[in-house]
Amino acid sequence: MTDFDPTGNNGTNWHPGLKESYIFDRNTIHEIRRAASQGIYDIRGFGAKRKLPHFDDLLFLGASMSRYPLEGYREKCSTDVVLGTRFAKKPIHLKIPITIAGMSFGALSGPAKEALGRGATMAGTSTTTGDGGMTEEERGHSEILVYQLLPSRYGMNPDDLRRADAIEVVVGQGAKPGGGGMLLGQKISDRVAEMRNLPKGIDQRSACRHPDWTGPDDLEIKIQELREITDWEKPIYIKIGASRPYYDTQLAVKSGADVIVLDGMQGGTAATQDVFIEHVGLPTLACIRQAVTALQEMGMHREVQLIVSGGIRNGADAAKALALGADAVSVGVAAMIALGDNDPAYADEYAKIGSAAGFYDDWHEGKDPTGISTQDPELAARFDPEQGGRRLNNYLKTMTLEVQTLARAAGKSNIHNLEPEDLVALTIESAAMAQVPLAGTDWIPGSTPGGF
Amino acid sequence: MTTATDIEVVDLAVTPLRELNQRLHDAKNGGPKSWKIVNPNGAHALAVGIDADLDVLIEGHTGYYTAGMNKHANVTIDGNAGVGVGENIMSGTIRITGNASQACAATGRGGLVVVEGDAAARCGISMKGVEIVVKGDIGHMSAFMAQSGTLVVCGDAGDALGDSIYETHIYVRGSVKGLGADCIEKELKDFHRAELGRLLEVAGADAKVDEFKRYGSARTLYNFNIDNAGAY
Ligand SMILES: Cc1cc2nc3c(=O)[nH]c(=O)nc-3n(C[C@H](O)[C@H](O)[C@H](O)COP(=O)(O)O)c2cc1C
């Protein structure tokens, strides 16, 4: 979507009497005109841009008379996470509770994938492959690499399965639960085409269903196969897009998952129809408690770990997700921004392609001035993977420090001791979704039988 | 001590599946080359992830994903195989003397899969380079989104053959109930005759090249066009 007006005309010619329609606002009118001229839906990257109940609608209470805080920076507040304790012979140890989400080589350039590996490794966490297979850049630079098994199976092979540290079966993504991947022709370079075994320059629509299993009973057998191939060493994750998180979590546990990755509707994407991004799925805030309840009812909370993603931006978001019961969070869009995407230093170049720093989401077009979401060798060469890695490490460390700051304020010596009781909600909606009381009341909407 | 010429017999009624698969994986580093597995009894994930030049004979019917992701080995299933036999095969050969269930050789990237009987729906779905020869019939939605490689069917094909196909070559001797989106009949050129002839020979199929018709992609859906919206 390139509907930001770089001339700053957002109201310049406005005068009293020009009344903008609330429902037919300028974006809506722009989109109708665009559809009428182009005859195709809008495809874009990034996550949902509409306003949704989110972590900003929650607050931590902090310590008080009855809760004892920890001394900032002095008293220990541990942040490490172990993933895959249920079945895997080699569980994964992360130093911080923030992982890098799966982003495909194809969507991102080789150097960008390398930078994600470098930054994650410096920060002591994992990174993840994506639709398009495993590249040497990311395997070589990622100490802990999660290998995705997606419906398309592009590049899938047993050697990469064996050299992965964990395997993530992707059932869905928050940006498009029920949708498959897209990579448009302009990004299909020789290398991408070869890895995916497809002709160069064609629009690739990856499948939305796995080719060799349907439903949780089959998935259980598929997971058994993956475990047998890799001699039961690797943790197996199941990634689900948030739509029915209570049932999907239970079915994922039943299918034999070690770890569940739950991606809310704000979750980023490299290329999806705008109508899908904005109108399908549950907000991240609304799905955490449902998934945690499902795990608790099965006696599996903390035994099968829960990673939450979709619009995580800072330590506050991460801490709130942990307090609601997640074991870790995962970041996609924020990691790209940390690498340098949407950098105002490229303001002129963004303007040339009809966008602006801070608004750019046409990642599918392959023209990214920062060289991150492109396969154009000249653009990709602009991006320095070492510097990108350092920036990502800085960002992840800052987030972790923020999580610790909030946890210490709540008197917790381990970030996983944060709990719903530490939170209140600012709105009725967020109180209902997060199942914490509306601030200043003891009211949790939806929790009183027969009441609101 | 076993030598390379001995046949290692494993009875799955006694030996746990995990132990068998581990031994087949360890065979990469030496040990017996010929294996016979008895009493498979429909086991899932049997002989998956082999990465060595072994000959494996499975006497009986198998469950899901038999010989999945195979590399180098020649695996024979003397019986019927369940869903996803030879899924994502990389190299080597898998031969099924009976029938194969759905998604036979799904996403296979190399090697050869031969089905002496029939294969069910979605045979060769999303195939990426594997060669498949089915001596009997295949079910509906076979070669769906098939990317590359070759599918030979000596019998009939079910509905929606080759839907959204990319560059896979399909040869069918019998009838085709229906073609999927963007799949069309194509001319059998000399290159294709040679390819088909070679595959019929290695598979030991009693059929003549000229009895087959070739199907492949019309390539009209390769780049999005709004006037094709109904086909997407
Ligand atoms: C550029 C980009 C590419 C992505 N590619 C994949 C992918 O290949 N496979 C996948 O499961 N998810 C993919 N995702 C989704 C992320 O794994 C993750 O679910 C999402 O980014 C989390 O939300 P956040 O971006 O708000 O942090 C991608 C996201 C982005 C931004």
pLDDT tens digits, one per residue of B84-127 = 999 999 999 999 999 999 999 999 999 999 999 999 999 999 99
Distance from CA of A40 to the nearest CA of B (A): 6
A310 Cβ closer than 6 Å to some ligand 1 atom? yes
- Model's pTM, two decimal places? 0.95
Size of interface A-B (CB pairs under 8 A): 104
Measured CA to CA, the distance from residue A144 to residue A104 in angstroms comes to 16
Q: What is the per-residue pLDDT for A395?
A: 98
Whether residue A261 contacts residue A117, with contact meaning beta carbons closer than 8 Å, is answered with no
Tokens of B121: 């729906």
Atom of ligand 1 nearest to the CA of A263: 19
Query: Rounded to whole angstroms, how far apart are CA atoms B226 and B66?
Result: 42
List, as ranges, residues 135-154 from A with C-beta within 8 Å of B.
152-153
State the distance from the centre of ligand 1 to the C-alpha of B167, rounded, in angstroms: 29
Which residues lie below 8 Å from residue A20, measured CB to CB, with a gap of 6+? A26
Task: Write out residues in chain A with pLDDT < 70, as ranges.
Answer: 1-12, 448-452
pLDDT at A205: 82
The reported pLDDT for the residue numbered B5 is 66
Tell me the ipTM for this assembly.
0.96
Return the H-helix or E-strand segment holding A279. Answer: helix A274-279
Residue A40: per-residue pLDDT: 87
> What φ, ψ does residue A22 adopt, rounded to 5°?
-70, -40
Q: What is the pLDDT of residue A3?
A: 47
Domains of chain A by start residue, with CATH: 66-418 (3.20.20.70)
Pairing of strands B112-115, B128-134: parallel
Ligand 1 centre distance from Cα of residue A266 (Å): 10
Q: What is the pLDDT of residue A182?
A: 79
* CA torsion through residues A223, A135, A100, A356, sign: negative
Give residue A229's Cα distance to chain centre. Answer: 28
| Token pair recorded at residue A403 | 């999580």
pLDDT for res B229: 66
Distance from CA of B149 to the nearest CA of A (A): 10
List chain B domain ranges.
Answer: 1-92, 99-222
**Phi-psi bin for A137: left (phi > 0), alpha (psi -120 to 50), beta?**
alpha
Question: pLDDT value at position B231?
Answer: 64
Q: Which of B88, B144, B167, B228 to mutate against chain A (most A CBs within 10 Å)?
A: B88
Q: Tell me what pLDDT residue A6 has.
A: 45
- Determine the angle formed by the axes of helices A245-254 and A215-229, rounding to 10 degrees: 40
Residue A185: closest CA among B195, B223, B61:
B223
Pocket test for ligand 1, best of A49, A210, A269, A333 (most atoms within 8 A of CB): A269
- Closest atom of ligand 1 to A335 CA is 27
Q: What is the pLDDT along chain B (232 residues), one digit of tens a residue?
A: 555 568 999 999 999 999 999 999 999 999 999 999 999 999 999 999 999 999 999 999 999 999 999 999 999 999 999 999 999 999 999 999 999 999 999 999 999 999 999 999 999 999 999 999 999 999 999 999 999 999 999 999 999 999 999 999 999 999 999 999 999 999 999 999 999 999 999 999 999 999 999 999 999 988 877 676 666 6
Q: Residue A125's closest CA among A329, A303, A336, A264? A: A329
Rounded CA-CA distance A132/A141 in Å is 18
The answer to whether A41 faces chain B, any CB pair under 8 Å, is: no
